[in-house]
Amino acid sequence: MSRTLLTGNGAAAWGARLAGVDYIPAFPITPQTEIIETIAKWIDTDEMNARMVTLESEHSMITAAGAAAATGVRVFTATSSQGLLYGMEMLYSVAGWRAPFVLVNVSRGLSSPLTLEPDHNDILAARDSGCLQIHCSTCQEVFDSMLIAYRLAEDERVRLPVIVNLDGFYLSFTREPVEVPDQKAVRDYVGSYDPETTLFRASAPSSQGVAVLGGGPYSYFRYELHLAARNALRVYDQVAEEFGRHFGREHAAVEAYRVDDADIAFVMMGSFATKARAAVDRLRDAGLRVGLVRPRLLRPFPEAHIKRLLKGKRGVAVIDQNLSMGLGGVLHSEVASALYGQDGAPAMLLSFVAGLGGRDIADEEFFEMVAVTQRAIEKGEAPPPRLLYTQAELREVRKLQAIAHVEYEELNRASSANEGDRQ
């Protein structure tokens, strides 16, 4: 076992390599491309024995992933943001085939306006697809989650695609120390894939995802998909526990950091949650009892863990790095639904939206969120949801608007002058 500096993308590629994947349908997109570049290089130098095929779009790529998985081979693929959305039709379809594979999504904010830096609206658009979701906060976790994801996806009680999510830039291009175990240790944990009934073969026609009408059969198949996803809660706990025994690292469905005696807890997902961890340490140094609850699993939603961890807390600040237009933060409403009517549920559940398009969250903003939560507890009244946004940021936008406005005026002057010419 060696400890080495790897980017999140590199860690994902190592996970695919050591899990022994057979087939990788690929299509490039920033900030994910380094994953398929790395794997392509290994295949080229015979360090990895797998077949990579570049497709003409993510729509075809996800179709190929599902189709290959249906032949009983182990499949890996990766995409990001616009690419995930372009393949969205097939993402929902292949989940219904019950053909397991692992897809890495490197989170990046969605257009419009176009951006490259991360938030979670891309991966949340796949929330209801039937694919399971694991959200990572460090490069080590990316590697480890790849192995856990294959165990989860291929388990006979589940048989669903799993998406491993890592944030663009803050994980994808960031190097951190990563323990990479040797091939044998990984094989002992991941095992080989037994496809059982999913054995699509040449010259032996079968149909995946057939048409059904009338609602009855459709409801049956869709609800079975839901039950498979619900099974994944139990299966996840088992395969994560087994992972801990093999490799000595714990990856609970929900990470709890200094939560037990906390009065106030942050709830957040993804790589910025490590910043919340750092803030928790500093707040503890200042004598405040604060902790962090971080869901790694988003689908299936681990509400039992959330309920248990947040029970008896005085206040909870949910930090969403996403925005559902017309609602607000997605995680906030999911946590609220888990806690509603529960004995010992926190009275104050505050909503913050932050980190859209990779916008940084400063230390003092974590401190201030705790101060706002404390005031809400004292007053007995939760403030409205808040977007973390400063005066200085708005000033920058005003500058851009001023430039755009001058150009708009010039264009109007030019077009009215043209009108004059014609008359």
Partner 1 sequence: MFRIRFHGRGGQGMKAASRILGNAFFIEDYEVQDAPRYGAERRGAPIFAYVRAGREPINERGIIRHPDLVIVADDSLVPVPGAGVMSGVDARTVILINSEESPQVWKQRLNFEGHVFTLPVETADRAELRFIGATCVGAAARLLGVIKRESLAEAIRQELADLGSDMVEINLSKALAAFDSMQAEEGRVTPAVTESAADYRPPDWIDLEFEDARASAPAIHAGATSVEVRTGLWRTLRPVIDHDRCNRCWWVCSTFCPDGAITVDSEGRPQIDYDHCKGCMICVAQCPPHAISAVSEQDAQAEEAEVAST
Q: Which long-range contacts (CB under 8 A, 24 or more apart) does 188-193 make?
A: 188/246, 189/147, 189/151, 189/242, 189/243, 189/246, 189/247, 190/18, 190/19, 190/20, 190/147, 190/150, 190/151, 191/151, 192/20, 193/72, 193/73, 193/74, 193/100, 193/150, 193/154
92 near partner 1, judged by CB under 8 A: no
**Pairing verdict, β 102-107 and 290-295:** unpaired
Contact between 5 and partner 1 (CB under 8 A)?
yes
Site string for partner 1, 29-68 (x = CB under 8 A): -x--------------------------------------
Site for partner 1, residues 390 to 409, rule: CB under 8 A: 390-392, 394, 401, 403-404, 407-408
411 binds partner 1 (CB under 8 A): yes
Q: Is the Cβ–Cβ distance between 103 and 162 less than 8 Å?
A: yes
CB-hemisphere CA count at 13 Å for 281? 5
Least distance between partner 1 and beta carbon 82 (Å): 16
Determine if 374 is a binding residue for partner 1 (CB under 8 A).
no
The Cα-based distances of 151 to 1, 11, 194, 275 in angstroms read 21, 17, 11, 29
Q: Which of 22, 37, 176, 179 binds partner 1 (CB under 8 A)?
A: 176
- What does the DSSP assignment read for 56-91? SSHHHHHHHHHHHHHTT--BEEEE-HHHHHHTHHHH
Which of 14, 27, 97, 169 is close enough to bind partner 1 by CB under 8 A? 169
Does 281 engage in binding with partner 1 (CB under 8 A)?
yes
| Binding flag, residue 177, partner 1 (CB under 8 A) | yes
- Contact present, 161 and 132 (Cβ < 8 Å): yes
Q: Please, what is the end-to-end C-alpha distance for the chain in angstroms?
A: 81
Binder of partner 1 out of 275, 296, 305, 313 (CB under 8 A): 275
* H helix intervals, 196-329: 216-247, 273-285, 303-310
Residues 7 and 174: beta-carbon distance below 8 Å: yes
2 binds partner 1 (CB under 8 A): no
- Stretch 114-153: interaction string toward partner 1, x if CB under 8 A: ----------------------------------------
Q: Which of 37, 92, 368, 382 binds partner 1 (CB under 8 A)?
A: 368
Cβ-based nearer residue to partner 1, 395 or 422? 395
- Helical ranges in 319-362 per DSSP H: 330-339
Query: Which of 311/399 has CB closer to partner 1?
Result: 399
Q: Least CB distance from residue 407 to partner 1, whole Å?
A: 4
Residues that bind partner 1 (CB under 8 A): 5, 7, 30, 112-113, 169-170, 173-177, 271-272, 274-275, 277-279, 281-283, 285-288, 358, 360, 362-365, 367-368, 370-371, 386-392, 394, 401, 403-404, 407-408, 410-411
